[in-house]
């Protein structure tokens, strides 16, 4: 199976240095929920290893009683994640459940379901919610527990105010959660509030790379200039039907996360999860406030 992809408690480079002070004295009580619990992350680049909060989230899980497996992939939507076979691999992973007391699957999409993304976009009113429901149903049928996550906010400001263009997709996820009676982690609302409190200058420090000088200068006035576009892929690598190489480039933008952003929003999702599912509290290291 794929447990070696992203086991919890694995620290690397700058992210490890950032998280270790937070976690050095944290305590957990595995006795209150005996046996290992597995948490699987399914989503897009804002959750994936190297570009999203998933690495930070898994780092807060207690490796003594929790396996955290990040199967999110860059450039994927509720449609393309299934079409390319990534969901089939996640379902195959769910067949291996004998060693776990319980398995929770966190599902987050929206960024690539938005219009204008060939081979990925889905209809907000019909296809997007239907796709989420199908994921929920299949997780349950495999004996695991689904949890929806509303999409992480983009960090784009205009006149000092954050532009939340993902709000409709967050609303759709909330509606599916209510209809299917599954927990919904309010990452969109909480990330919007947190980024607005930071302002554009501090928010820019969460990206994969420092902002260019002109963007840094404009951020001080409360606005976000367009981020530089990533280089286009050679024609032989481009595939408008399914993005097979959707990993985010290690450059500045307002969507993806470097180590600081991964730790910040990873902690946020861990807090939201233990609030929504209190029995998972002993599986995460305490937050030093």
Spatial CB neighbours of 114, under 8 Å, sequence gap ≥ 6: 121, 165, 166, 169
Biggest CA pair distance of the chain:
55
Angular region, 119: left φ>0, alpha ψ -120 to 50, beta rest: left
As a whole number of angstroms, the distance between CA 40 and CA 30 comes to: 19
Q: In the chain, count of helices (H) and strands (E)?
A: 9, 7
Cross-strand partners of 108? 43
As a whole number of angstroms, the distance between CA 139 and CA 39 comes to: 12
Is 106 inside a domain boundary? Answer: yes
Is 51 inside a domain boundary? Answer: yes
Low-confidence residues of the chain: pLDDT under 50: 1-33, 233-245, 289
As a whole number of angstroms, the distance between CA 5 and CA 7 comes to: 6
Cross-strand partners of 158? 161
Identify whether the C-beta of residue 267 lies closer than 8 Å to the C-beta of residue 18: no
Is 172 inside a domain boundary? Answer: yes
Rounded to 10 degrees, the C-alpha dihedral 6/107/45/173 comes to: -160
DSSP string, 2-46: -GGGS-TT---HHHHHHHHHHHTT----GGGS-S-EEEEEEE-TT
| Tally of structural domains, the chain | 1
Please give the model's pTM, rounded to 2 decimal places. 0.83
pLDDT tens-place string over residues 115-173: 999 999 999 999 999 999 999 999 999 999 999 999 999 999 999 999 999 999 999 99
Alpha helices in 181-258 (DSSP H): 187-204, 213-219
Can you give the residue range of the structural domain that contains 140? 3-283
Spatial CB neighbours of 163, under 8 Å, sequence gap ≥ 6: 154, 156, 157
What is the predicted pLDDT for the residue at 228?
86
Is 110 inside a domain boundary? Answer: yes
For residue 86, the domain's CATH number is 3.40.50.1110
Closest CA to 204 of 238, 251, 172: 251
- The count of other CB atoms within 10 Å of the CB of residue 24 is 9
Spatial CB neighbours of 200, under 8 Å, sequence gap ≥ 6: 155, 157, 160, 219, 220, 222, 223, 224
What is the predicted pLDDT for the residue at 60?
97
Is 288 inside a domain boundary? Answer: no
What is the predicted pLDDT for the residue at 101?
93
CB neighbour class for 86 (10 Å; exposed up to 12, middle 13-18, buried from 19): middle
Is 289 inside a domain boundary? Answer: no
Is 97 inside a domain boundary? Answer: yes
């Amino acid at each position: 199976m794929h447990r070696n992809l992203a086991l919890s408690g694995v620290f690397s480079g700058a992210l490890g240095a950032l998280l270790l002070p937070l976690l050095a004295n944290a305590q957990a009580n595995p006795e209150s929920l005996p046996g290992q619990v597995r948490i699987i992350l399914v989503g897009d680049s804002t959750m994936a290893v190297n570009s999203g909060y998933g690495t930070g989230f898994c780092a807060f899980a207690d490796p003594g009683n929790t396996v955290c497996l990040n199967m999110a992939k860059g450039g994927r939507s509720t449609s393309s994640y299934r079409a390319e076979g990534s969901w089939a691999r996640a379902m195959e992973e769910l067949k291996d459940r004998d060693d776990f007391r319980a398995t929770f699957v966190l599902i987050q999409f929206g960024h690539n379901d938005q219009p204008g993304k060939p081979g990925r976009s889905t209809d907000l009113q019909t296809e997007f919610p239907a796709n989420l429901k199908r994921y929920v149903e299949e997780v349950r049928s495999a004996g695991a527990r689904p949890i929806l996550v509303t999409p992480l906010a983009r960090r784009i400001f205009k006149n000092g105010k954050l532009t939340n263009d993902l709000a409709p997709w967050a609303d759709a996820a909330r509606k599916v959660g209510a209809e299917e009676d599954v927990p919904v982690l309010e990452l969109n609302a909480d990330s919007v509030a947190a980024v607005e409190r930071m302002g554009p200058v501090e928010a820019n420090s969460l990206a994969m790379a420092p902002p260019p000088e002109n963007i840094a200068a404009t951020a001080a006035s409360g606005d976000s200039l367009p981020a530089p576009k990533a280089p286009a892929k050679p024609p032989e690598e481009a595939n408008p039907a399914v993005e097979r190489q959707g990993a985010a480039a290690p450059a500045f933008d307002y969507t993806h996360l470097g180590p600081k952003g991964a730790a910040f929003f990873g902690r946020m999702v861990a807090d939201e999860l233990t609030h929504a599912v209190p029995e998972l509290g002993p599986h995460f290291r305490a937050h030093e406030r």
